[in-house]
Amino acid sequence: MSARLAFVLGLALWLPLLACQIPRGVVGVEPLSLSRVAGEGDPARRASMRLVMGGLESDGEGRGVEASSRYQRALQVDPTNPYAWLALARQEVFEGDAERGLAHLDKARALLGADERATAHLVGLRGAALVALGQPRLGEPFLQEARQLAPVVWGDGKLDASELW
Amino acid sequence: MVVRLDGVVRDRFEGRLFRVPSRVLSAPTILYPGLDWKRVDLLGSLQRLGYRESATHDPLGLGRFHLRRGELRIHRRAFEHPTRAEPARVLALRLEGSVISELRDASSGRELGAAFLEPELVGAYYGSDHEQRELVRLGEVPEHLIDAILAVEDQRFRDHRGVDVRRIIGALVANLRAGGIRQGGSTLTQQLVKNFFLTPERSLERKFQEAVMALIVEARYEKDAILEAYLNEIYLGQRGSTAVHGVGEASHFFFGKGVRDLALPESALIAAIIKSPNGLSPHSEPERAQKRRDLVLELMAEQGRIDDVALAAAKDEPVRVAKVTPEPREARYFLDALQRQLPNFYGPTTLTTEGLQIYSTLDLRLQRTAARVVAEELARLEKTYAKLKPQGDVQVQACLIALRPQTGEVLALVGGRDYGKSQFDRCTQARRPAGSVFKPFVYAAALEPASGGPVLTLAAWVDDDPLELLTPAGPWRPKNFDHENHGRVPLREALERSYNVATARLGQQVGIPRVIEMAHRLGIESPLPQVPSLAIGAADITPIELARAYATLANGGIRPQIRTFEDVVDPLAGTLERQPIEAERVLDDGTAYLVTSLLEGVVNRGTAAALRRGGLSGPVAGKTGTSNDERDAWFVGYTPELVAVVWIGFDEPKSLGLAASAIALPVWERFVREATGGVVRGRFLRPPEVDEIEIDPMTGAVALAGCPARRVEYFLQGTEPVETCPGWIDRWEPRDGRGFLERLFETWLDRL
């Protein structure tokens, strides 16, 4: 009888987790790096990713405007490429307009679905955007979560282009 | 007089020398492995960009391409982009059927993930003179072009002071011998002065003025400045109604390349036609042009500007010119729409004189497709339906606008049948009754979880029985298109069949203020009347607003800002204006998905089912709309990557006498089929907060095993049905004090 009770109780605890809408980040999961997913998908996605990677290169070398243009070209080829939206969001949050960055981040989140590798970047960028928008009390908890999920990348509260590569 | 003329000269030379129309360029073509090169009309793009086919690929000249079985090589020219310069490069494309299977840099052999072609010219903002020129600096102009022009037009240019007396005497003698004016004695400076300040009239007084002004110009300005002005001013031909001025523009026009890439025979040809650009045009008079070109080459040799070897080689070259590509006329409405979207300080004067480069969002291939489809389909409809036949000047009109929903980029815009006859843009300027294309906003308001939760779920039923509502204007009784009432109908069917009565009732249930708020949130900006009939589209809105609102649904509830351009660049001062991607979440992605799912039903089973019969496969959502008295026919539809609106109607209120599914839908279907190649890429993503549940269609209850009828339905989490299919209800009843699940677990555990 006690085994049955434990099973039912366990199920009761587990079900709400299943129902949770936002993918939970898992500590220890290696955070998303775009070079690892660049070869995936159909030809349009792969071409789009090559443009994203070119944009990250420009971004890393301090040519933000050029990078942004490359990400936009990537979206011309594949407007549903979540990684292009993520890269564009990163660029906007740290070097452009954080509010725009939040909108792009929302798009990336919707397209990424339940990819838990992306969680650290999604919550970290959200936190960084909120901080940039003058709302540190709202943003810091997200940054804190990102630090816990991916301490090496988010330890400094930033996501460099090279760290997204 | 000299003082006055001096003032005139100084005003011109020290102000803006040239008025240069601003050009609008398309989004670049991006090549990549896997791309269907035939569908994107790659060869057409190359020809429009002035690339010429070459018989060989080794060597392959700049601006040439070579196509042979299974391979296409393109020697792409270098080009500037606002944020990056693209170097010249030979691209090697391996072709398998209509697909690019491999893309490499031919020089290094390096595989390329993607490569750009230069953007195509969409159009320009011309002044009243309709002149086009590309300004060049003297340093950019090859020496052989300057030599060729001086050899034939003014060989003592470096020595005289504006007027060449020796040349005048020579010309006088020649003319006396010929008994008329056969030879001119004008120097380059005089020609420049004549073009800048004087009329073409041939009189002694005008000639005298010309000479005085030439002397003033030479006294005030350096030879190089005069030569540069001349090279940019000289008239060199005609592209349709546009006059080609200057060697920069002429290089593109005749040879499809920039001036710095000209070869000696090409330079000689440009110099040759200065005398009579139309009479010696290499397009229409190639033999005469070649004869004159050879004369120029011989003069160059005589004057020691080239040696005999160069002379012989250049004369051996046949005259080859790029195909005349008339400026596209399909995009005139787009140019106007873009101008209206630019900030106010880019007024007509700026746009017609400053020579700006405007990098637009237009996909020229889609634009051409849209223009062709609209023209051909309207002609077909006029033949098919007597009611649509033109009567005098009254012709049925149309609008087609296509956007990329994620970025709000306008990809194609056709604002009417003929820009020459009517510049009124029916996509962005015409407010027309929306009819049933408005209905999805009612359903979105009903399905959205507001403070009290959504009004309905997709499993709900609505009442389509006769309805009468009292309004200040008297009783209002909505009627269905088929003049029938259908009783209680599933919510899906109400939209799929576009039932007016059911939707009007739903509007009342949701509340018209909430419907208005939803429509505005999605992107409708026109004022909306707070009347019951709004629910079935009694509101005047523009097609571009509708495109944006549907784009919001296609984009999972994120509303994009409409964009017609990316960058405005001043060639001298750099980027002046940038229009970034702007978007805002205005609806949760779950509700947006539910509405998309409803609109997919319209295409799969409802009033737009003809789309599927046309052969269009893949994810497509959309809605037909016919306004009162059938004055407006709409179809608004989207795929995951494209939203397009088609409107058809008369400018003046007049009934079409036809439903949207008969006339607007075929235009949309053909446009999207040709745009996508018939296979729509991608899918509408179901967000995690939407559950897919099998239900009993009659009751909306969860269908468990054994339920006789079932279909899949989508529910926002928390709104799923709690009842189950009737056949199972008794099993849920508690027995012996234990519920169904507990009994099920016990059975399972016992089996373990």
Q: Which of A50, A71, A88, A119 would you mutate first to test chain B, the one with the most B CBs within 10 A?
A: A50
Residue-wise burial string across B622-656, b where 16 or more C-beta atoms lie within 10 A, e elsewhere: bbbbbbeebbbbbbbbbbbbbbbbbbbbbeeeeeb
Return the amino acid letter for B666: P
> For B643-671, what is each residue's pLDDT tens digit?
999 999 999 989 999 999 999 999 999 99
> Is-contact B72 B117, C-beta < 8 A?
no
DSSP states along B68-119: ETTEEEEEEPPEEETTEEEPPEEEEEEEETTEEEEEEETTT--B-S-EEPPP
pLDDT of residue B737: 64
pLDDT of residue B174: 75
Tokens of B223: 């030879």
Mean pLDDT of B150-176: 86
Is B81 within 8 Å of chain A by CB? yes
Give the closest residue to B522 by CA, choosing from B584, B586, B583, B447: B586
Number of Cβ within 10 Å of residue A165's Cβ equals 17
B265 or B706, greater pLDDT: B265
Supply φ then ψ for residue B548, to 5 degrees. Answer: -70, -40
Give the C-alpha separation, B706 to B655, whole Å.
Answer: 52
pLDDT of residue B708: 83
Is B555 within 8 Å of chain A by CB? yes
CB contact under 8 A, B405 and A68: no
> For B366-413, what is each residue's pLDDT tens digit?
999 999 999 999 999 999 999 899 988 899 999 999 999 999 999 999
pLDDT of residue B283: 92
Torsion, Cα B25 B365 B672 B556, to 10 degrees, reads -30
- Maximal C-alpha separation, chain A: 66
- Identify the DSSP state of B401: E
Kindly identify which residue of chain B lies nearest to residue A71, measuring between CA atoms: B581
> Is-contact B608 B600, C-beta < 8 A?
no
B42 pLDDT above the threshold of 80: yes
Instruction: Give chain B positions within 8 Å (CB) of A80.
Output: 406, 640-641, 682, 685
> For B204-241, what is each residue's pLDDT tens digit?
777 788 888 899 999 999 999 999 999 999 999 998 88
In sequence order, which residues have a C-beta less than 8 Å from that of residue B201 and are 6 or more positions away?
none
B181 pLDDT above the threshold of 80: no
pLDDT of residue B172: 79
Give the closest residue to A165 by CA, choosing from A68, A38, A70, A61: A38
Query: Which of the four pLDDT bands, split at 50, 70 and 90, describes residue B117?
Result: very high
A9 pLDDT above the threshold of 60: no
Place of tokens 């400026």: B327
The three-state secondary structure class of B558 is: strand
Mean pLDDT of B722-745: 64
Give the C-alpha separation, B371 to B303, whole Å.
Answer: 53
> Is-contact B711 B492, C-beta < 8 A?
no
Which residues are registered as beta bridge partners of B724?
Answer: B702
Supply φ then ψ for residue B36, to 5 degrees. Answer: -85, 100
Mean pLDDT of B457-481: 94
Query: Which of the four pLDDT bands, split at 50, 70 and 90, describes residue B84?
Result: confident
CB-nearest to A79 from B35, B84, B406 is B406
What is the spatial order of strands in the sheet that B574-578 belongs to?
Answer: B121-125, B22-25, B357-360, B565-570, B574-578
Tokens of B427: 């996509």
Residues making up chain A, counted from first to last:
165
> Is-contact B560 B581, C-beta < 8 A?
yes
Q: Which of B36, B84, B365, B593 would you mutate first to test chain A, the one with the most A CBs within 10 A?
A: B84
Is B36 within 8 Å of chain A by CB? no
Instruction: Give chain B positions within 8 Å (CB) of A77.
Output: 30, 32, 114
Give the C-alpha separation, B138 to A39, whole Å.
Answer: 47
Mean pLDDT of chain B: 91
Give the C-alpha separation, B462 to B455, whole Å.
Answer: 11
Is B405 within 8 Å of chain A by CB? yes
The three-state secondary structure class of B650 is: coil
Supply φ then ψ for residue B74, to 5 degrees. Answer: -130, 125
- Maximal C-alpha separation, chain B: 129
pLDDT of residue B745: 67
pLDDT of residue B700: 86
CB-nearest to A106 from B558, B575, B578 is B558
Is A64 within 8 Å of chain B by CB? no
Give the C-alpha separation, B593 to B600, whole Å.
Answer: 10
> For B290-331, what is each residue's pLDDT tens digit?
999 999 999 999 999 999 999 999 999 999 888 877 777 789
A94 pLDDT above the threshold of 80: yes
A146-150, B202-206, B343-347, B521-525: least confident range: B202-206
CB contact under 8 A, B555 and A42: no
Supply φ then ψ for residue A6, to 5 degrees. Answer: -65, -40
- Identify the DSSP state of B322: P
Return the amino acid letter for B558: I
Supply φ then ψ for residue A115, to 5 degrees. Answer: -75, 100
pLDDT of residue B724: 86
B682/chain A closest Cα distance in angstroms: 8
By the 10 Å C-beta count (0-12 exposed, 13-18 middle, 19+ buried), B240 is classed as: exposed
Helix-strand-coil split of chain B, %, nearest 5:
40, 20, 40
Number of Cβ within 10 Å of residue B18's Cβ equals 16
CB contact under 8 A, A107 and B640: no
Cα B266 to chain centroid distance, Å, stands at: 33
Query: Which of the four pLDDT bands, split at 50, 70 and 90, describes residue B9?
Result: confident
pLDDT of residue B93: 97
Q: pTM for the whole thing?
A: 0.87
Give the C-alpha separation, B308 to A141, whole Å.
Answer: 80
The three-state secondary structure class of A14 is: helix
Give the C-alpha separation, B621 to B603, whole Å.
Answer: 6
Strand B621-626 versus strand B642-649 pairing type: unpaired
> For B435-463, what is each residue's pLDDT tens digit?
999 999 999 999 999 766 677 999 999 99
> For A43-70, what is each residue's pLDDT tens digit?
999 999 999 999 999 999 999 999 999 9
Is B35 within 8 Å of chain A by CB? yes
CB contact under 8 A, B580 and A75: no
B248 pLDDT above the threshold of 60: yes
pLDDT of residue B657: 92
What percent of chain A clears pLDDT 90, i.e. is strictly above it?
73
Give the closest residue to A67 by CA, choosing from A45, A39, A46, A89: A89
What percent of chain B clears pLDDT 90, i.e. is strictly above it?
71
For chains A and B, count residue pairs whose Cβ atoms are closer than 8 Å: 116
> For B617-642, what is each residue's pLDDT tens digit?
999 999 999 998 899 999 999 999 99
Query: Which of the four pLDDT bands, split at 50, 70 and 90, describes residue A13?
Result: very low
Is A41 within 8 Å of chain B by CB? no
Which residues are registered as beta bridge partners of B66?
Answer: B73
DSSP H/E element including B5: helix B2-14
> For B67-82, what is each residue's pLDDT tens digit?
998 999 999 999 988 8
- Identify the DSSP state of B67: E
CB-nearest to B641 from A23, A73, A80 is A80
Tokens of A47: 């071409």
Instruction: Give chain B positions within 8 Å (CB) of A46.
Output: 32-34, 113
First and final CA of chain A: distance in angstroms?
A: 53
Half-sphere exposure of B214 (CA within 13 A, CB side): 27
Number of Cβ within 10 Å of residue B444's Cβ equals 26
Catalytic center residues of B: 153, 436
Half-sphere exposure of B592 (CA within 13 A, CB side): 27
CB contact under 8 A, A80 and B749: no
